Structure 1
Amino acid sequence: MKGHNKKIKNQTSNASDKKISGLVDSMRPLARQVMALKARMEALGMFTNDREFLKCTTCDLAEDVAVDGRLITVHRNGTDWSTDSGLRFKEVERDLFRCPVCGTVQKAEEL
């Protein structure tokens, strides 16, 4: 009886493995499309929502997103939060960004 149960368990495991493998195979093209879309969004200056917005800890510069999805920066102590300053935090290393105003480097927090 033990051998029979083991055989059934192996068959079930193999069927599950095949289903998972098939699912992964069907997801690959979609994953490629998502990555291509993300690259296009970044090229257009859009925020891809893979990290928190940057807010300089030294000066008043902060990132935000415009209604159309473009990443913008604003001066937090200003009165017009909808006008893009045109300044951009520069990635100096993976997840490390330098403020274009004061040069402070900070780590971006992933979502």
Structure 2
Amino acid sequence: SLDRTTEVSSFTGGSYYLIEVIAFILTHLKEKLLTDHLKGNYKSSDFDWVITVPAIWKARARRMMREAAYMAGLTSDAPGITRFTPVGSPLPRPEEVNPEKLSLALEPEVAAIYAQHQ
């Protein structure tokens, strides 16, 4: 099962914590949105963020996704994750800033809502 200590391997052979890989992706997406699309007129904390997760994910996997979002600085104006923690070292716990600005939604429910509005 997925949790904050789940490890993944890269095609180059390196091992990383999945939570940090997800946090890096979320950080990149956040920066693209704020810089390229919104031209720096908004801050990350100006938004309410919704992240979809598979319905079959257990509570621990959902918690991992929430932590990755905090690591990425989605709900704060922090820059987000900038480096990987070496596998085997303890993972830092992110501060939960503005938790009311982050929601997790189940993918089938989001798909149904989308289909209703088409």
Q: Do both share a fold (TM > 0.5)?
A: no
Scaled by the length of structure 2, the TM-score of the pair is 0.23
Q: Which has the higher strand share?
A: 1
Rg: which structure is higher?
1
- Higher relative contact order at CA 8 Å, sep ≥6: structure 1 or structure 2? 2
